[in-house]
Amino acid sequence: MLSSAVSSSLLILHKPLARVIRFPIPKLPLSPNPRPLSSLSPAASALTPNAVGAGGRAGALSPAPITEDLQKIDVNPPKGTRDFPPEDMRLRNWLFYHFREVSRLFGFEEVDFPVLESEALYIRKAGEEIRDQLYCFEDRGNRRVALRPELTPSLARLVIQKGKSLSLPVKWFAVGQCWRYERMTRGRRREHYQWNMDIIGVPEVTAEAELISSIVTFFKRLGITTSDVGFKVSSRKVWMVFPCMNLDNQIQRSS
């Protein structure tokens, strides 16, 4: 039978103060007749450790039973989406690196927007029929929202929000994840990434020519040549700018 009392104290070393703070712990006598586990309430008994036996260990809590729903969960990603294991992630990072490097080479600054936007933002641009192509729903605040299907409406919203505080011209780029609930085809999923380069505040066609020049530079960095891809431009004004950018021999004139 134990009749002694336990006495101790808690030591805390506070380094900035370089001293020891001592907190006394009150003496608690040990009961000579501890209560059996069977006397605990049903709620407390459910949390008590199991006895040693049946391959268990002392003090181990009963594991939660695995439900049938968890056993049948689909390990594939949702339809239209994909995983990026390391080998695919390396390729994606390499591609996104060139997106960003080319953008910065041409003086663009990176921006990003919420992946969740107001549904009205896309209806305003494309009409009510766009709702059939959106991942849209009503949130708990009774607001109609949607996963962004593209980046341009978010860009326009941010420019309007900034208003006159923006110094023109604005040269922004973004690499963002987008969602479209539409029929999938080869190479086109419901989840995709979009690279945007936008110039705002330049009335001349030099903005269009600069964007075409940036894409040509991007293809060159990736080793894509004129035998792989080509551009067709029907604007005479844009064609007049190409010789200044050494693009006249890389772009095909379209009638």
Q: Are residues 192 and 212 both part of a single domain?
A: no
Q: Are residues 249 and 193 both part of a single domain?
A: no
Taking the C-alpha atoms of residue 215 and residue 250, their distance in angstroms, rounded to an integer, is 11
Q: What is the pLDDT of residue 45?
A: 46
Amino acid at 250: Q
Q: What is the pLDDT of residue 96?
A: 97
Q: What is the pLDDT of residue 49?
A: 46
Q: What are the tokens at 56?
A: 């268990």
Residue 11 maps to a domain = no
Asked which of 156, 183, 201 is the last residue of a domain, the reply is: 201
Residue 18 maps to a domain = no
Residue 163 maps to a domain = yes
Residue 52 maps to a domain = no
Q: Are residues 149 and 218 both part of a single domain?
A: no
How are beta strands 232-233 and 252-253 bridged, if at all? parallel
pLDDT in tens, the chain (255 residues): 444 444 444 444 444 444 444 555 555 555 556 555 555 444 444 444 444 444 445 455 566 665 555 678 899 999 999 999 999 999 999 999 999 999 999 999 999 999 999 999 999 999 999 999 999 999 999 999 999 999 999 999 999 999 999 999 999 999 999 999 988 888 778 999 999 999 999 988 889 889 999 999 999 999 998 889 888 887 787 877 777 666 655 555 554
Residue 17 maps to a domain = no
Q: Are residues 133 and 192 both part of a single domain?
A: yes
Q: Are residues 183 and 215 both part of a single domain?
A: no
Q: What is the pLDDT of residue 250?
A: 56
Q: Are residues 125 and 208 both part of a single domain?
A: no
Report which of 167, 154, 91 is spatially closest to residue 124, judged by C-alpha positions.
154
Q: Are residues 229 and 175 both part of a single domain?
A: no
The range of the structural domain enclosing residue 168 comes to 80-201
Residue 128 maps to a domain = yes
Q: Are residues 178 and 215 both part of a single domain?
A: no
Q: What is the pTM of this model?
A: 0.66
DSSP summary character for residue 251: S
Other C-beta atoms within 10 Å of 139: how many?
A: 9
Q: Are residues 182 and 244 both part of a single domain?
A: no
Q: Are residues 131 and 186 both part of a single domain?
A: yes
Structurally, the chain folds into a number of domains equal to 2
213 SS3 class? helix
Other C-beta atoms within 10 Å of 202: how many?
A: 14
Amino acid at 228: D
C-alpha neighbours within 13 Å on the C-beta side of residue 194: 22
Q: Can you list the positions of beta strands (E) in 50-164?
A: 109-110, 116-118, 136-138, 144-147
